[in-house]
Each structure stands twice: as C-alpha cells, then as structure tokens.
Amino acid sequence: MKKNYFTSFLILVSFFVHAQPTKQTLLPNGWSLTPAGKSLPLGDLPLNIAVSTTKKFIAVTNNGESTQSIQLIDAVNDKILDSIDIPKSWLGLKFSKDEKYLYASGGNDNWILKYAIVNNKLILNDSIKLGAKWPFIICPGGFDMDDEKQKLYVVTKENNSLYTVDIATKKNRFHSFEC
C-alpha cells in the first residue's frame, strides 16, 4: 500500500514539474539551459555593478565598444529607472551611504563623475579631476568610500596607483606602487 502512495506521489510531482512552462535555450551540443532567475536587458559589456546601502538601487556601468552608459535599477521591482550615455567610463561605481549620489569612473578622461539621484534619475552633479585627459594615462577603476571622513579611494588601471580624494575639496593624493 505504501508503495502505491509513493508511486502516485512521484507521478503527481513529475506531472507538476513537467507541466510548468520553462524557457529553455538549446545549445549546439544538445544540452539546454534554463534561467535561474529573471533578467533585465543591459548595455554593451556590463562591466561592473554597485548596490546601494539599503539595497534600493543597483547601478550598472556598460563599457563596451559602442555607447557607454550607466543604468540605474530599482532593485526591489527589477525595473530600469534611468539609463544615461556617458562619453567615457571604466569599471568604477560607488553609491554614497545616504544614496543621494553615485560616483562613476570617467575612464581615460581621468576623472570621477558625481551623479545626484533625483526622482530616480541620474543627474550629473560634479566631477573630480585626477589628472589631465588622454594621452596622460590614469584611468580610474575600482572605488571605495569612507563616508564619515568624506574620502573616496580610487585605484587606477593605467598608472597602477591609489588616489585618496577628499570629496569636499576635490583634492587628491597620489600613491604610486610598483607592480
């Protein structure tokens, strides 16, 4: 009797599992992929992602060969709130702790772009210059921030350095390291 219940249970589970519509992608080798979650369309070469302190916002920097952009995403509702084109970018993204600002790398223009987040839109608010533009090579990459001290720490792609930036005065200190 227990065997019949168990067999019936397996048949019922199998029916429900196979009855659910799945979005599978068949690969050339005959295997298939099934998405593990939801997805949103992003730009060309999404290179970095930053999540705000309260996990309300997500920012993505798209750094491919075509249009470079930053996308602001509502993390709760999985919705793109804003997408802005930027002249140059590279990797670096950081939200301020109060979620009022997003800092982004300006790539080989050698600056950090500061965007205010107003009504779920990114508005260019300020910029912090690390050095002269290309061909002088710096290219800010990864960021981290000490909100209490109002310091932004920036590592660079081209000159292998760490910059400590005072956000209030926009003055920076350059620390060079040999690789």
**pLDDT, tens only, 71-93:** 999 999 999 999 999 988 889 99
Q: Tell me the one-letter amino acid at 120.
A: N
What are the φ and ψ backbone dihedral angles of 140, each rounded to 5 degrees? -60, 135
Residue span of the structural domain in which 110 resides: 46-141
Angle at 176 between CA 174 and CA 179, to 5 degrees: 155
pLDDT digits (tens, 9 = 90+) for 10-54: 555 555 555 455 688 888 998 988 888 888 889 889 999 999 999
What is the CATH classification number for the domain harbouring 96?
2.40.128.630
Per-residue pLDDT at 18: 52
Residue of 39, 42, 58 whose CA lies nearest to 50: 58
Q: Tell me the one-letter amino acid at 44.
A: D
Does residue 56 belong to any structural domain of this protein?
yes
Give the mean pLDDT of the chain. 87
Does residue 21 belong to any structural domain of this protein?
no
What are the φ and ψ backbone dihedral angles of 99, each rounded to 5 degrees? 65, 20
Per-residue pLDDT at 34: 86
What does the alpha-carbon distance between residue 173 and residue 176 come to, in Å, rounded to a whole number?
10
3-state secondary structure of 54: coil
**pTM of the complete model:** 0.79
Does residue 105 belong to any structural domain of this protein?
yes
Per-residue pLDDT at 110: 93
Classify the phi-psi angles of 91: left when phi > 0, otherwise alpha if psi is within -120 to 50, otherwise beta. Answer: left
Strands 57-62 and 46-51: antiparallel
Does residue 8 belong to any structural domain of this protein?
no
Would you tell me how many other CB atoms lie within 10 Å of the CB of residue 7?
Answer: 10
pLDDT digits (tens, 9 = 90+) for 164-177: 999 999 898 877 76
pLDDT digits (tens, 9 = 90+) for 107-151: 989 999 999 999 999 999 999 999 888 888 899 999 999 999 999
Does residue 20 belong to any structural domain of this protein?
no
Number of domains in the chain: 1
